[in-house]
Amino acid sequence: MILLTPDLRYALRANAINRLAALRDDKPEPDPVPVVKLFNPAGAATWLATELDDDEDTLFGLADLGFGCPELGSFSLSEIASVRLPFGLRIERDLDFATPFPLSRWAETARRAGSIIWAEQLLRRAAAHQLRPPKS
């Protein structure tokens, strides 16, 4: 599986450029929504990426290796792509991933919940609750 399509690369690079422009112009850093979710189909490791550096390998986002302490930081696309799992499995991209929530909300929820996987459940419920029409 291709972990990053050209469209995903473009969106990730655009977020990185926007952050650098904000820093250069002494403006608040943007808080983009995660663009891509990568995951271990045989375990709990999950990565949510918002940016891709100009080296085309260093991603920034929320990383959860399944130890109960999701962390914001940088991670290597080539290292993730090189992981070999049992039964010939590899790290995959969640093809259906989309979120209305910015990375800061994901990080806060994942830290409280102890994982990105649990945070995803909580945020789905929050999104569903926001979409319900008010009771009359």
pLDDT tens, residue by residue, 13-24: 999 999 999 999
Residue 134 CA to its chain's centroid (Å):
31
pLDDT digits (tens, 9 = 90+) for 35-52: 999 999 999 999 999 999
Q: What's the confidence (pLDDT) of residue 57?
A: 98
Quick one: which H or E segment has residue 47? strand 46-52
Q: Kindly list the domain boundaries of the chain, sorted by start residue.
A: 6-131
In 10 A of CB 103, how many CB atoms? Answer: 23
pTM for the structure as a whole: 0.92
Q: What's the confidence (pLDDT) of residue 1?
A: 83
